[in-house]
Each structure stands twice: as structure tokens, then as C-alpha cells.
Amino acid sequence: MNKIVEVQDLGHNDYKATWDYQEGLFKSVIDTKIKNRREEANLETQNYFLFVEHPHVYTLGKSGDFSHLLLNEEQLTQKGATFYKINRGGDITYHGPGQIVGYPILDLENFFTDIHKYLRLLEEMIILTLMEYGLKAERSPGETGVWLGVGTPFARKICAMGVRASRWVTMHGFALNVNADLGYFDNIIPCGIRGKAVTTLNVELGVDKVDESELKAKLLKHFMNLFDAVPRHKKSVF
């Protein structure tokens, strides 16, 4: 089992270009698995972890409700945003500057074959990272992602998650609000959940800006520990 995870920081990159890149890596892992099965080969499957920050974009998961986007095409243009219906789970979410997005493309057969466990470990990575900033982040029963103030009238979501998996290979991932403009969330019903707020790390800490490089390092540390994996850094292709 290959426990090495190739880490790439794609910087600021277009959503569609990143999605296409993800799909290419995802397909390459699946193709290796198919070849191993058909030809009784014993090729290692690769694992990847992509960091990226997108321009303003709204994405709707395959089970999502289009009515949860509260903008028409003209209003999207005025906001400088784009929209995509995509093949992950979950409903609608927003990505944009100041939000750290992570896309792990893993062959879970290198780690464990349990999608529920995979999602819970991604949540735990966020919870442990936010703990380093003095915040008590939690899961909200029945709602994927990471929240603050669970069980209070001030519950607010700080990290959204949505994944796709096929043949135990994952793609898509998490979106953690770090220095994001929360105004863009007013244009959707985030994750299809009405009546709950969204927050960002710099607001919670009462600072102008959180160091995103430092945050990525903390996320990566916890990810590798939780998955018992070894990072290998590679320069971005973009």
C-alpha cells in the first residue's frame, strides 16, 4: 500500500481548470486500478493532495437544488462570479479568494475502505487545526462539515465538504473559510441549510488577516497524522 501523498499548491486558479486537472489525476488512479485487476499487475496507485484558492464561483452538487442559488446569470456576472453544476455530493457552496480549498485524490485502498470514516477524518483535520487557533470547532449531527457554536442559537459553519468516490478513489474535498468575503454567501442557501450562519477564521479571531501559508502547514500536518501518510511536495503544474 502506497502511503505517500503528493502535495501540490495550485495557488490562485480557475475552478474549471482545477476541476479538469482533478479529473485527470482521478482517472489516472482509476486506470491503474483497472489495469492491475485486468492484467493482474501490481502497480502502485498514487495519492494527491491539492491546495487551491479559486476566483468567485458557486458550485452545485449532484443532489443539490438549483433554487438555492439566489442569483440569475446577469447578477452572477455583476458579482464577478461563475456557476458550475458538478459531480460531487452535497448541495450548493461558494468558493472564492480568502478560502482555502483542499482536494485529496486518494486511493482509499492504500488507507482504509470506508467513505464515512474518510469524511470524519477530513472533519477531524479541520477541528484539530482550528483548535491550534483556540477555537472549539465541532461536527453538527446530520450535517457534513465543521461548525462553531453547535447547539446554540449562534451556530455557524466554517468549513464545507463534498466528495466524490469511485472504486475507492476520492476527489473534491473541503473548503475552509479563512479570510473570505462572507457577503458572497448571502447569494445562496449554503449547503441547502436555511437559517444558519457562515463564518470565517479571521472574523472569529478578530484579526484583519490570517496567515494562509501557516494554516496550510497545520492542515497538512494533521492530515498526514490522521491518515498515517507521508507528504511529498511537488511544484504546481499551473
21 marked as part of a ligand binding site: no
Do the domain assignments include residue 176?
yes
Instruction: Say which residue, 134 or 77, is predicted with more confidence.
Output: 134
Chain centroid to CA 19: 12
Q: What is the mean pLDDT of the chain?
A: 92
For the question of whether the overall pTM of this predicted structure is more than 0.75, the answer is yes
Main-chain phi, psi angles of 13, to 5 degrees? -150, 145
Residue 187 DSSP code: G
- Centre a 10 Å sphere on the Cβ of residue 149 and count the other Cβ atoms it contains: 19
Share of the chain above pLDDT 90, in %: 73
88 marked as part of a ligand binding site: yes
Give the total number of structural domains in the chain.
1
Across 173-188, average pLDDT: 91
Q: What's the rounded Cα separation, in Å, for the pair 145 and 157?
A: 8
227 marked as part of a ligand binding site: no
156 marked as part of a ligand binding site: no
What integer pLDDT is reported at residue 55 of this predicted model? Answer: 95
Provide the CATH number for the domain around residue 118: 3.30.930.10
Do the domain assignments include residue 96?
yes
Do the domain assignments include residue 238?
no
233 marked as part of a ligand binding site: no
What integer pLDDT is reported at residue 54 of this predicted model? Answer: 97
Instruction: Say which residue, 37 or 70, is predicted with more confidence.
Output: 37
Name residue 195's amino acid. Answer: G
Reply yes or no on whether 159 is catalytic: no
- Centre a 10 Å sphere on the Cβ of residue 211 and count the other Cβ atoms it contains: 11
What integer pLDDT is reported at residue 195 of this predicted model? Answer: 57
94 marked as part of a ligand binding site: yes
Q: Which of 5, 148, 191, 201 is catalytic?
A: 191
What integer pLDDT is reported at residue 27 of this predicted model? Answer: 97
pLDDT tens string 210-219:
999 999 999 9
The string of DSSP codes covering 20-65 is HHHHHHHHHHHHHHHHHHHH---PPPPEEEEEEEPSSEEEE-TT--
Across 77-97, average pLDDT: 86
Domain ranges, residue 74: 4-233
Main-chain phi, psi angles of 105, to 5 degrees? -115, 95
Do the domain assignments include residue 17?
yes
